[in-house]
Amino acid sequence: MNKYFYIQLLILTLSLFSQTLVAANKYWVGNGGNWSDNSHWSLTSGGTSGAAIPSAFDIAVFDQNSFNSANHSVIISENISIGGLDWRNVSLNPTLSADTPVIMTLYGEI
């Protein structure tokens, strides 16, 4: 096979991977609950729930629109891998906890 075939194959492979490696912000909504419940994830701050749970390529964002009263908890009950965790604009003293020993893998910043 010639080198042009390999170059085309490489370009095709990279383009397929680039489609799946696009990071997104996923916003927590709806007060306390379980991390794995997609009714607490949205694609926009304070937006409609039902987004996919954050993956290794996504940043989980907790902000001023995540909670409407104080002292809610977000419970992690299984191992998770996320691209990052952003609590910079969160208010009302929420907590992030686990009900069993879990592993949280972060591929980016907290």
- Digit-coded pLDDT (tens) for 53-92: 999 999 999 999 999 999 999 999 999 999 999 999 999 9
Instruction: Provide the 3-class DSSP secondary structure of residue 4.
Output: helix
- Digit-coded pLDDT (tens) for 22-49: 679 999 999 999 999 999 999 999 999 9
Domain boundaries, the chain: 22-33+59-110
Work out whether strand 25-28 and strand 41-42 pair parallel, antiparallel, or are unpaired.
antiparallel
Among 10-24, 46-60, 91-105, name the one with the lowest average pLDDT.
10-24
Question: So what's the pLDDT on residue 19?
Answer: 44
Indicate the burial class of 5 (C-beta count within 10 angstroms; 0-12, 13-18, 19 or more).
Answer: exposed
- Of 14, 17, 39, 9, the residue nearest 26 (C-alpha): 39
- Of 48, 58, 103, the residue nearest 84 (C-alpha): 58
Question: So what's the pLDDT on residue 23?
Answer: 79
